Amino acid sequence: MSHLTEDEGYEVAIMGRSNVGKSSLINALANNKKLARSSQKPGCTAYFNCYQVAENRRLIDLPGYGFARRSKQMQRHWESEFEQYIQSRNTLSAVIVIVDTRHMLKVSDVALLEFLNECQIPTLLVGNKLDLLTQQSKHQRKIQITGFVSQLSNTVVEFTSVKKKFGLSTVVDFVKMHLCM
Ligand SMILES: Nc1nc2c(ncn2[C@@H]2O[C@H](COP(=O)(O)OP(=O)(O)O)[C@@H](O)[C@H]2O)c(=O)[nH]1
Ligand SMILES: [Mg+2]
């Protein structure tokens, strides 16, 4: 937090567990495969990685949460950084939370979504890696996730495959709107 740029302008932050596709999404939005480090090794990103989209407009790639191989102490450190960032960053206009649709929402995803809701931060929940699901599990997962999100007044949902470039226009529109572009 203390190393971030001045709290001026607009920011959209990208959050999610490790390996769900946060860095890949930034690369897709930027149309640059090498921009954000996309890694096979989970838990690699341990910084607020800030990408300036235009003057005073940033996308922030945050470290993955719920990464068990990271020490408990590091997990607690990042939890408190997340909380502080969400609660105190004036420029934080909106958050994109990404999940891997092969799995159910995890306790940590639900906790984050509910916290963002309490803080009244506009949120887009992105159910990613849709290309890896069968037609039937796609349908089931969409019903489960959409059902949960319908209880949250500040949250909308979209299903994507960053790999197959599917569903990304909703993400682009959400980012543009909240970065006032
Ligand atoms: N099949 C598939 N793989 C994806 C998709 N999005 C990301 N990945 C892969 O998932 C892995 C983790 O992605 P990464 O962007 O590093 O996740 P991060 O840890 O959340 O930043 C990489 O191998 C990506 O190529 C997707 O939509 N479909
Ligand atoms: Mg990453």
Residue 5 lies in a domain: no
Number of structural domains found in the chain: 1
- The string of DSSP codes covering 58-118 is EEEEPPPB--TTS-HHHHHHHHHHHHHHHHH-TTEEEEEEEEETTSPPPHHHHHHHHHHHH
Query: 4 lies in a domain?
Result: no
Q: How many C-beta atoms lie closer than 10 Å to residue 121's C-beta?
A: 19
Give the integer Cα–Cα distance in Å for 18 and 35.
18
Top mutation candidate among 15, 19, 141 for ligand 1, by most atoms within 8 Å of CB:
19
How much is the pLDDT for 43? 52
Q: Put residue 29 in one of left, alpha, beta given phi > 0 → left and psi -120 to 50 → alpha.
A: alpha
Over range 83-99, report the average pLDDT.
96
pLDDT digits (tens, 9 = 90+) for 127-181: 999 999 999 999 999 999 999 999 999 999 999 999 999 999 999 999 999 999 9
Mean pLDDT of 85-95: 96
Q: How long a stretch of residues is the chain?
A: 181
Closest among 50, 60, 45 to 12, alpha carbons compared: 60
CA distances from 121 to 12, 40, 99, 134, 159 (A): 10, 30, 18, 33, 20
Asked if the structure places residue 3 within a domain, the reply is: no
Whose C-alpha lies nearest to ligand 1, atom 1?
A: 129
Where residue 117 sits, what CATH number does that domain have? Answer: 3.40.50.300
- Determine the average pLDDT of the residues in 34-59: 77
Q: Crossing angle of helices 107-118/135-149, nearest 10°?
A: 40
CA of 100 to the centre of ligand 2 (A): 13
Tokens (6 digits) for 48? 């607020």
Pocket flag, ligand 1, residue 5 (CB < 6 Å): no
Model confidence at 70, in pLDDT bands (50, 70, 90)?
A: low
The per-residue pLDDT of the chain, averaged, comes to: 90
* 45 or 153, higher pLDDT: 153
| Nearest atom within ligand 1 for CA of residue 61 | 21
Q: What is the pLDDT of residue 59?
A: 95
24-37: per-residue pLDDT in tens?
Answer: 999 999 888 878 77
Decide if pLDDT at 122 tops 80: yes
Supply the pLDDT for residue 41.
58
Does residue 42 surpass a pLDDT of 80? Answer: no
What domain range is 110 assigned to?
Answer: 10-178
